[in-house]
Amino acid sequence: MKRINMWSGPRNISTAMMYAFAQRSDTHVVDEPFYAHYLDQSEIEHPVRNKVLARQSTDAADVLDQLLTAGSDKKILFIKNMAHHMIAMDAELAVLMEKCEPVFLIRNPREMLPSLDRKLSRPTLRDTAYKQLYELFEMRKQSGQKCCVIDSHELLKAPHEVLSSLCGCLDISFDEQMLHWEKGGRKEDGIWADYWYGSVHNSTGFMPYRPPSNSFPEHLNSLLTQCKPYYNKMFVHAIKAGC
């Protein structure tokens, strides 16, 4: 089995990517398996916190054991993970990096931060996951292995082209079914889906890219300055539309 672990941050169209892979008949998807562990370790107040803690295991080692046996009837396992969920789990992280092919999903913080700000009160650098994503990316790059990086803007400009290139990077065949899905949720959605996944549930595929219509909020300028260097360093390696 090929295990693909997609590292992302919030509001990066990561759920749309999970839906795309779920359309493949050869793929089993898992949605943010370490969310409860993250909430337990960080003690952060997130929407639907209590529901997540009641539904998911907070034991990272236990979650990892379940992941490594998930989807055994399929050729591909696709795991959607938030990079900032990896708290106090060095051993588990090492296994994930060894056993899974990583994909890094990024989004320009000038577009991501206002979206996150509407969901979380006073988001911090940790909440954005940019630093954690970059550290994971560097870990992979320094090992001398290839790095598959996807930028949400480039993907939305040319979904067919960019997804095809991603599949090539992962050494799997491209499937046209990845471009479309039925409106509504999926059985694999986490318990948090009603709060976070509204736009994806109202879609039937990757929506055309639209630049932000509002000016960037001034109160997020400091956070934007913190995020941009991590994003810029990774964007250099992203699959580009039209290349």
pLDDT digits (tens, 9 = 90+) for 157-206: 999 999 999 999 999 999 999 999 999 999 999 999 988 899 999 999 99
Pairing relationship of beta strands 148-151 and 101-106 according to DSSP bridges: parallel
The tens digit of pLDDT for each residue in 151-170 reads 999 999 999 999 999 999 99
Q: What is the pTM of this model?
A: 0.95
pLDDT at 68 over 70: yes
- The span from the CA of 118 to the CA of 115, in Å, is 5
What is the Cα gyration radius of the chain? 17
The pLDDT score that the predictor gives to residue 171 is 97
The pLDDT score that the predictor gives to residue 243 is 67
Task: List residues bridging with 2 in a β-sheet.
Answer: 76
For the segment 49-73, the average pLDDT, to the nearest whole number, is: 94
What distances in angstroms separate CA 201 from CA 126, 138, 157, one per listed residue?
A: 27, 33, 20
Torsion sign, CA atoms 192, 86, 227, 224: positive
The pLDDT score that the predictor gives to residue 121 is 86
Mean pLDDT over the full length of the chain: 95
pLDDT at 84 over 80: yes
The pLDDT score that the predictor gives to residue 4 is 97
Helices 130-142, 90-99: crossing angle, 10 deg rounding = 60
The pLDDT score that the predictor gives to residue 63 is 97
The pLDDT score that the predictor gives to residue 210 is 86
The pLDDT score that the predictor gives to residue 111 is 95
The pLDDT score that the predictor gives to residue 212 is 84
The tens digit of pLDDT for each residue in 9-25 reads 999 999 999 999 999 99
The tens digit of pLDDT for each residue in 112-135 reads 999 999 988 899 999 999 999 999
pLDDT at 143 over 70: yes
Over pLDDT 90: what percentage of the chain? 86
Over pLDDT 70: what percentage of the chain? 100
pLDDT at 75 over 70: yes
pLDDT at 233 over 80: yes
Task: List residues bridging with 7 in a β-sheet.
Answer: 81, 104
Kindly indicate the confidence band of residue 146, based on its pLDDT and cuts at 50, 70 and 90.
confident
Domains and CATH numbers, the chain: 2-235 (3.40.50.300)
